[in-house]
Amino acid sequence: MTKPGGEVEVLTLNEAEPGLWRGVMEDAPLGLHRADDGTLTALAHIGPANPTEFQDVISTTERLAPIAEATGGSVARISDGSSVSLPRISAVSARAPAEGRGWIGLRRSEATVLKSIDQLPLLGGILGLVLLVGGFAALWWREAR
């Protein structure tokens, strides 16, 4: 039997009655398991039939609203069912409001500081032009042969 992590465990089946074979796996982890004998394959689900994350799947803003208000954020819908309206995203400082009419803010954490940027062109202007024209000339010469 293949466990969810990909680990393979041998499960011995015993004939309970003609045509019915049973096996027991002790301490099987939750998830989807696959059993096969080389020709036939079966899937078995171990765990609750109705897990918590699938009990209430209605899209709502009410559940996140208290957390958003406590952290100075906001909750908004991006679709009303007929059209999609994405807000503008802006970077804001740690003390500034992180929401407004038609926009949301991402707070700068200031966890890192950029000291400098060094730039070095891969090919200089004249050198790049010479290489480009030379490459085209070589391809043209090769094609003309």
Q: How many domains does the chain have?
A: 2
Query: pTM for the complete prediction?
Result: 0.39
Q: Please give the average per-residue pLDDT across 65-91, as a whole number.
A: 85
d(CA 40, CA 33): 14
Q: What angle do CA 32, 55, 64 make, to 5 degrees?
A: 115
Residues 48 and 63 in one domain: no
For residue 132, what are its two tokens?
């480009």
pLDDT tens-digit series, residues 104-126? 888 888 788 888 988 877 777 88
63 and 25 part of one domain? no
Same structural domain, 74 and 47: no
**Alpha helices (H) in 54-98, listed in sequence order:** 65-71
Separation between Cα atoms, residue 13 and residue 71, nearest integer Å = 55
Q: Looking at the structure, tell me whether residues 64 and 103 fall in a common domain.
A: yes
Say if 38 falls within a structural domain. yes
Q: Which of 66, 59, 127, 71 is nearest to 98 (CA)?
A: 71
Enclosing domain of residue 22: 14-52
Residue 85 has pLDDT above 80, yes or no: yes
For residue 4, what pLDDT is reported?
A: 59
Shared domain for 36 and 73, answered yes or no, is no
- Are 28 and 48 members of one domain? yes
Q: Is residue 1 part of a domain?
A: no
Check residue 2 and give its pLDDT: 58
> Which phi and psi angles does 103 have, rounded to 5°?
-145, 155
Mean pLDDT, residues 53-80: 84
Give the pLDDT mean for 22-48: 84
Q: Which of 78, 47, 45 has the alpha carbon at shortest distance from 61?
A: 78
Q: First and final CA of the chain: distance in angstroms?
A: 63
Confirm whether 31 is domain-assigned.
Answer: yes
68 located within any domain: yes
Residue 122: both structure tokens together = 């891969």
